[in-house]
């Protein structure tokens, strides 16, 4: 068992991000056995869950004439437009049935505000609106986090960078993550994480 000060954060292992889902990440379900095994090594386990309203501003379908994977400008900066995914209460928003959820003490739902997307487990995409996770980790005495899940180059990397900015010791287990890799986004995310002191381990 890891020290009480270490937490495992499992990012968005949901049906819509796994093969057959609305925004499927290649081999997204292949990481689940490893994540399940990791949970027993941590006394603090947190799951995150993308949880969008149907009218979410990040959905290309809500921008007439826009195509998925293009970008628009939002008040908080550039925003990639996505296929409709992880809509509140739908099957695609649910955790993959093979993922263990019982060991988790906390589930953080994110992306539920229609006007702003939320990749990170700690802050929405304006980088100032908190999810509450940072406060939870602080209250639990957590000083180090290990991140796994989907997708490496978006929600995992944004979470890792925000955790590092909060002064946490951050490790991303790349072998327990999978990426979308949109236009070279994976290599860019890996480089940015290294530059900000995030430890990358397989």
Catalytic residue positions, numbered:
12, 110, 155
Question: Tokens 């979410």 sit at which residue?
Answer: 56
Q: Decide: helix, strand or coil at residue 82.
A: strand
**CA 56/CA 123 separation, integer angstroms:** 17
Q: Does 151 sit behind a cis peptide bond, omega within 30 degrees of 0 on the bond before it?
A: yes
User: How far is the C-alpha of 148 from the C-alpha of 73, rounded, in Å?
Assistant: 29
Question: In this structure, are strands 44-50 and 106-110 parallel, antiparallel, or unpaired?
Answer: parallel
8 token code pair: 């495992």
C-alpha closest to that of 41 among 73, 13, 3, 77: 3
| CA atoms of 4 and 189, how far apart (whole Å) | 29
């Amino acid at each position: 068992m890891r020290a009480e000060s270490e937490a495992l954060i499992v990012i968005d292992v949901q049906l819509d991000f796994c093969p057959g889902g609305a925004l499927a990440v290649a081999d997204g379900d292949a990481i689940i056995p490893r994540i399940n095994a990791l949970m027993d090594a941590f006394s603090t386990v947190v799951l995150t869950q993308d949880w969008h309203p149907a009218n979410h501003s990040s959905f290309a379908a809500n921008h007439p004439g826009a195509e998925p994977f293009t970008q628009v400008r939002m008040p908080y900066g550039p925003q990639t437009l996505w296929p409709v995914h992880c809509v509140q209460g739908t099957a695609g928003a649910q955790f993959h049935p093979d993922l263990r959820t019982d060991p988790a003490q906390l589930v953080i739902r994110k992306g539920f505000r229609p006007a702003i997307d939320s990749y990170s487990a700690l802050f929405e995409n304006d980088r100032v609106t908190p999810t509450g996770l940072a406060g939870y980790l602080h209250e639990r005495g957590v000083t180090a986090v290990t991140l796994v899940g989907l997708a490496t180059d978006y929600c995992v990397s944004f979470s890792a960078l925000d955790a590092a900015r909060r002064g946490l010791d951050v490790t991303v287990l790349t072998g327990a993550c999978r990426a979308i890799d949109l236009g070279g986004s994976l290599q860019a995310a890996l480089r940015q994480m290294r530059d900000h002191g995030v430890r990358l381990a397989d």
